[in-house]
Amino acid sequence: MVTITDELALAQARKADELMATSNTNPLTGIPVVIKDNMCTKGIPTTCSSRMLENFVPPYDATVVEKLNGCGAVVVGKTNMDEFAMGSSTEHSALFTTHNPWDLSRVPGGSSGGSAVAVAASEAIYALGSDTGGSIRQPAGFCSVTGLKPTYGRVSRYGLVAFASSLDQIGPLTQDVTDCALVLNVLAGYDPRDSTSVPYPTPDYTQILAADLKGLRIGIPKEYFVEGMQAEVEIAIKAAIGKLEELGATIDYEVTLPHTPYALAAYYIIAPSEASANLARYDGVKYGFSYLETGSMWEAMEKTRQYGFGAEVKRRIMLGTYALSAGYYEAWYLKAQKVRTLIRREFDQAFAKFDALVTPTSPTLPFKIGEKIDDPLQMYLSDVCTLPINIAGVPAISIPAGFADGLPIGMQIIGKPFSEETILKIAHAYQQATDWHKRRPEI
């Protein structure tokens, strides 16, 4: 937790009691929730776990926060994250490192590590996270909780502090799929304040949950069982796929998405480029941290960014600025966008044959704190199974699928655009037949 909102939570709980005594209420009324600290909360600090916004208090609520407040939710706090959502371990927080509740010497994943841990450790019933390249699903897998990245445009991004605007999406982290469907019922829907929000019908996601998968076709893309994947992960995921087959799904292991190996490179051009543009607003003039011990405006701006941003954020800003610079734009950014189109087309072709695709959430078990912090490439490879989904803009969910050496393993289910009900149905059926999601760490 970055901020604990105890007084607010008690006031909201009293209001929820009154609502439940006098009227029909939403299933989320009175239920404790935590919110990742990159979503604006009126009157409550929103730091993005960065020194740059350490004392920033927004004057308005994000749309998702408005929706939760409107149904009587109880907000107990804001959660730690990798600074400005840039990271895969929550070690890049400028405030402190969050630890995995299953093994305190290991990372919880990132960048929504605080949200995943809060749910895994029963500090809240559910949490909100954001996902730019796997930041909901990867920590969900590392902490043995359920995490959903909706289709791009399904949930409003208004009030989400931008990292990479064409990739960011808000979604829930919960203890099981039923809770995930309940939360998505509240979050999903068109918002005219978000230009990327899609005016598309939203079903009641709890009504399509089923106990079997008869008639569903599921593909297993070869490229997601990557070189270097830990054997324990592959064994657990293939066992989980076998369970899906037992539940009635038709499984095809001959699926191929040949441009998947290029997704990592394309992502780390597109995302830093958008970050470079989005983070240009932090200049020490309008809000946030400001370096004042100088007589020059230009030096003040330079020092503000030097001391306000952490190492990983500065690394990505520099990568993005280079990719967008004159003489390199076509060679890097434009080429990455062309690769993005090819990846999206391959997903479209796969979904012409299959209702969903299944992959590991991460190629490894949760790694030790400090193990990859000085090796950016190895850290980036943690998201190799999740970031193609953001590039394509499709929905995906991570659910608990086993343990190895006491550490969680997550399975990812990917759907066609705006087919959240299908992946929730598959995930729910799996959870009805297994008990991985019911296990809790000893705290």
In this prediction, residue 22 carries a pLDDT of 85
Please give the torsion angle defined by the CA atoms of residues 198, 427, 219 and 222, in that order, rounded to the nearest 10 degrees: 100
In this prediction, residue 24 carries a pLDDT of 78
Look at residue 285 and tell me if it is in a domain: no
CA–CA dist 281, 225 (Å, integer)? 40
CA–CA dist 180, 160 (Å, integer)? 20
Look at residue 323 and tell me if it is in a domain: no
DSSP string for residues in 74-113: EEEEEE--SGGG--SSSTT-SS----BTTBTTB---SSSH
Active site residues: 36, 111, 135
Q: State the total domains in the chain.
A: 1
Q: Tell me the pLDDT tens digit for each residue of 171-208.
A: 999 999 999 999 999 999 999 999 999 999 999 999 98
Look at residue 278 and tell me if it is in a domain: no
Look at residue 324 and tell me if it is in a domain: no
Q: Which two tokens stand for residue 334?
A: 């434009």
Residue 187, SS3 per DSSP? helix
Residue 297 has pLDDT above 90, yes or no: no
With a pLDDT cut of 90, the percent of the chain lying above it is 91
Look at residue 320 and tell me if it is in a domain: no
Give the least confident one: 72-76, 82-86, 325-329, 383-387.
325-329
With a pLDDT cut of 70, the percent of the chain lying above it is 100
The continuous run of DSSP H or E covering 22 comes out as helix 6-22
Maximum separation of any 2 CA atoms in the chain, in Å: 71
- State pTM to two decimals: 0.97
CB count in 10 Å sphere of residue 380: 18
Bridge pairing between strands 126-130 and 170-174: antiparallel
The pLDDT confidence band at residue 286, using thresholds 50, 70 and 90, is confident
CATH code, 377: 3.90.1300.10
Structural domain of residue 355, as residue ranges? Answer: 3-262+337-438
DSSP string for residues in 240-300: HHHHHHHTT-EEEEEE--TTGGGHHHHHHHHHHHHHHHHGGG-SSSSSS----S-S-HHHH
Residue 402, SS3 per DSSP? strand
Residue 69 has pLDDT above 90, yes or no: yes
| Residue 314: Cβ-neighbour burial (10 angstroms; 0-12, 13-18, 19+) | middle
The continuous run of DSSP H or E covering 178 comes out as helix 177-187
